[in-house]
Structure 1
Amino acid sequence: MERALYGDDGFYRRPGAGPAAHFRTSAHNPVFAEAVGRLLLQVDERLGHPDRLDFVDLAAGRGELAAGVAEWLTTRSPDTAARLRTIAVDLGPRPEGLPETVAWAAEAPDGIVGLLFANEWLDNVVCDVAEVDEDGVVRLVEVDPATGAERPGAPPDPAQRAWLARWWPLDGAGPGARAELGLDRDAAWRSAVGRLERGLAVAVDYSHTAASRPRFGTLTGYRDGHQVPPVPDGSCDITAHVALDACAAAVAAPSSGVGTVLTTQREHLRDLGISGTRPDLSQASTDPLGYLRGLSRASAAAELTDPDGLGAFGWLLTFSDC
């Protein structure tokens, strides 16, 4: 999975249109930039309007969200925009046409004061898969990188067994039951939050919690807008939903000034004032262009808050010393 996604010829290092050519995320919806901009204004207020306000877009794709947030803030709050340092973080080369006001980096900086935002990043952090075999023994799944063919491998190591016991127990599960181990995702989120000096880190992703783990896992692939088998040959995205409750526990430490909130995109965007409410029909006769713009915005907002779609994404908010 590591080589297939991030190796020299990996899926996320290939030139071209990037993830937008293969699947749609919230970052490709123009209203999402407004929502994140509103969140950034809240963070700025909570931090007491620091001289430099950071917005770090982690796993930025082609920088669509970073550019959109910076543009929205320039229009909505020029004073805030003047203090804004925007950094898009991704392993690929800097995209052509990205505004000069958006810096491009291969990793997040230390000492972030503001908002670190990771939209659909953790689902692409590598994870091992465990499966119950025909004898009821839990084993790691091995895969042929050329064909995707699977076979049972060794039992999980002690750290993996401990994670499974706490977050995704397979004891007593029948043959074929699977779990996607989140140790690497927990460590990745802990590392990302460690870059935050003061402010808020947000992970947005396909997710589940202990009460709703999928019996057979979620590992899959995407290519050219279609779901495909997760063959780790570099030709497709490989993704698995995230145990965000485990990620939250990996960073929560009240004594260190870190706290977490776990919610959904639908709920948090509504708290930010984003909804799919249509403009009043009477506006169509008095301001037809404004009415059409309102309809377009309402449609985009409805997509982001759809409880059976993007609205069901998990939001893990991690506050650090603010």
Structure 2
Amino acid sequence: MGALLTWQTAMERALYGPDGFYRRGERPVEHFRTSVHISGRFAAALARVLVEVDAALGHPDRLDLVDVGAGGGGLLTGVTAAVPPGLAARLDLTAVEIAPRPAGTPARVRWRDRIPREITGMVIANEWLDNVPLDVVERTPDGPRTVLVDPATGAESHGPPPSASDADWMERWWPLSETGDRAEIGGPRCAAWAAVVRRLRGGLAVAMDYSHVRASRPVYGTLTGYRDGATVPAVPDGSCDVTAHVALDACAVAGQAAGATGTLLTTQRAALRALGLTGARPPLELARRDPGGYLVALGAAGEDAELIDPGGLGGFGWLVQTAGIPVPSPLARLAEAPARIPT
């Protein structure tokens, strides 16, 4: 066994170090399906939210649209294409991504490795928080212990007790009851999300990710690797994407402490359905009257169905937080009947 590291350090090096998975320019689409790559209808749904944000802010001369963990930058261009031309012309587009700028990215898209200091508009963080490195703690007969990992093999060992801050976070958000139970300490994700909300001078930030809430934490954790479209062991050697699901309820509270004035925690299925993506098949009568139109509508229904599938992407959690404006009306109605975030 080689030198052992905490999982947070191992993930940081494996994903973002000099030879890390994302630092060398790997793109999510090459390794797993995301909502962005399935259909332009995902971007169109977010465009409807952006239109409401723009109206709530009084149609400013410049409106920020920021994609954190932008991958190839396609979501920014997709949303821009789906809003009215007048709004599209006022958008200031920023892709936050450590990977190199892809060839062909429109010149108007700013490519930077840090979140802007001030944002007035909308921030999108699609499958970003699950890649924020974190530590793992396991309950042993001698009490909670930080889990150490060999980055070359993924072999694990028990280390020291968790730090005071990790223990406090765990006690509040992910208590361990039985020997062998694990917690993935989400403090770094809470801090990362709070930093986004703190920069929001006015507008909305939305995070979408595989997630869970305190009432249904997975007892053995969720660390997973992805490579070439397949799930692989989470070995933090830089050869694969290493992720863990997000405690979005904890992030929501961190966002409120950072200044969020409105909060909605729901599922992607509920959110996209509220924004008009139903997955309903077009009526057969359309096939007789307009065969071409029927095929287009059928394709759209299939894309919608994949985006809202509760056993897949539809099971993602959505955390929507606003600064100085209300939660947009199609989504605000969901707050009256909050959706359960699945494990």
TM-score after normalising by structure 1: 0.95
The DSSP-based 3-state class of the residue aligned with 2:237 is coil
Distance of 1:228 and 1:156 partners within structure 2 = 27
CA drift of 1:194 comes to: 1.5
Task: Tell me the residue number matched to 1:316.
Answer: 319
CA drift of 1:257 comes to: 5.5
User: CA deviation digits over 1:47-101, x for unaligned, max 9?
Assistant: 121111111011000112112111222xxx1111111111111001111112223
8 Å CA contact 2:226, 2:232 repeated in 1: yes
Distance of 1:89 and 1:2 partners within structure 2 = 17
Task: Tell me the residue number matched to 2:92.
Answer: 85
Identity rate, percent: 57
1:156 to 162, 166, 176: 162
Structure 1 residue identity aligned to 2:296 = R
Task: Tell me the residue number matched to 1:299.
Answer: 302
Distance of 1:214 and 1:257 partners within structure 2 = 28
User: CA deviation digits over 1:207-256, x for unaligned, max 9?
Assistant: 000110001000111111111111111000000000001001112149x4
CA drift of 1:15 comes to: 3.2
2:30 to 12, 18, 21: 21
2:76 to 66, 85, 90: 66
Task: Tell me the residue number matched to 1:186.
Answer: 190
Structure 2 residue identity aligned to 1:19 = P
Task: Tell me the residue number matched to 1:279.
Answer: 282
Distance of 1:275 and 1:89 partners within structure 2 = 31
8 Å CA contact 2:64, 2:121 repeated in 1: yes
Distance of 1:84 and 1:292 partners within structure 2 = 33
Task: Tell me the residue number matched to 1:53.
Answer: 63
Distance of 1:320 and 1:40 partners within structure 2 = 14
Structure 1 residue identity aligned to 2:193 = W
The DSSP-based 3-state class of the residue aligned with 2:151 is coil
Task: Tell me the residue number matched to 1:41.
Answer: 51
Unaligned runs of 5+ in 2: 1-10, 326-343
8 Å CA contact 1:123, 1:242 repeated in 2: yes
The DSSP-based 3-state class of the residue aligned with 1:12 is coil
Unaligned runs of 5+ in 1: none
After TM superposition, where is structure 1 displaced by more than 3 Å over at least 4 residues in a row? none
Task: State the number of aligned residues.
Answer: 314
Task: Tell me the residue number matched to 1:137.
Answer: 143
The DSSP-based 3-state class of the residue aligned with 1:66 is helix
Task: Tell me the residue number matched to 1:122.
Answer: 129
CA drift of 1:309 comes to: 0.9
The DSSP-based 3-state class of the residue aligned with 2:269 is helix
8 Å CA contact 1:253, 1:259 repeated in 2: no
